[in-house]
Chain A
């Protein structure tokens, strides 16, 4: 993860997204108008969040298997970054809805499901801050994180699809059906998703590395203290 090639790739992809996202042709649809371009910015926030939460889920299971506190640092920092992107996704979605469909909060099933899973993840952070002992904190929050991710999938993918919603892929439609027809949008959308996921990974990567440095520093300090105490 220390290599630079994927960060440069991220820069190129997002640079293309920012320019192409505004200037490339898009289908002319009523109500949506130019806001269809939000697809390049709002939707990738959720994709990034999902990737980060999925990786946090993986590291939580890994922690439960190995008991290595470094895996816990991976899990918590990936979750933190994921929460950051979920907040961005929620805010952009509300802005989009406010000016396109007339209200920021229309009790859209996907919006409700996402709000619920966001609360579940907020509780993860609060749960961690409530526990003092590092081992206990890591173990309990790892178990909690596994359940949180298991709740995330039905809340944002399964339940909203069973009812009507403003979001594509709901009310029985396959996702992105109306956009799939437009190859111009796909040309920007896929690089946008990849670029946003990479920048999310980069931010999480920085947070994890900082967490590991602090963890190692504290541990060596503790180790030194124990050594001096023995003498």
Chain B
């Protein structure tokens, strides 16, 4: 009985240390390269937003010069 209890406690301890050591992160996603897809998508969005801002900036500059 005591042996069983000790084993259970031991197993619980092992699993808790194991779990805390292996905090879940998106490692698989990065290792197979898929995270770069997300980076590419976001980079595209930012490039688009910046291009749009540049376009607006130029347009407003042109209107300012018209006066």
Contacts and interface: CB of A to CB of B under 8 A. Distances in A.
Interface of A: 2, 7, 11, 14-15, 18-19, 22-23, 28-30, 33-34, 199, 202-203, 206, 209-210, 213, 216-217
Contacts of B39: 18-19, 22-23
Interface string B52-67: 0110110011011001
Contacts of A15: 43, 46
A7 B61 CA distance: 15
B35 interface: yes
A14 B25 CA distance: 24
Contacts of A19: 39, 43
A20 to B, nearest CB: 10
Contacts of B23: 28-30, 33
B64 A213 contact: yes
Given A22-B35, A30-B20, A213 B57 contact: no
Contacts of B38: 22
A25 B60 CA distance: 41
A50 to B, nearest CB: 21
Contacts of B6: none
Interface residues of B, number: 22
B24 A33 contact: yes
Which secondary structure dominates where chain A touches chain B? helix
B15 to A, nearest CB: 14
Interface in B28-52: 30, 35, 38-39, 42-43, 46, 50
A146 B11 CA distance: 62
B1 interface: no
B14 interface: no
A216 B56 contact: no
Contact of B35 (A2, A14, A23, A210): A23
A210 B24 CA distance: 48
A206 B56 contact: yes
Contacts of A18: 39, 42-43, 46
A34 to B, nearest CB: 5
B61 A203 contact: no
B35 A28 contact: no
Given A18-B46, A22-B38, A199-B53, 18 more contacts: A2-B61, A7-B57, A15-B46, A18-B42, A18-B43, A23-B35, A28-B23, A28-B25, A30-B20, A33-B23, A33-B24, A33-B25, A202-B53, A206-B53, A209-B60, A209-B64, A213-B60, A216-B67
18 contacts: A7-B53, A11-B50, A15-B46, A18-B39, A18-B42, A18-B43, A19-B39, A22-B39, A23-B30, A28-B23, A28-B25, A29-B23, A206-B56, A206-B57, A209-B60, A209-B64, A213-B60, A216-B67
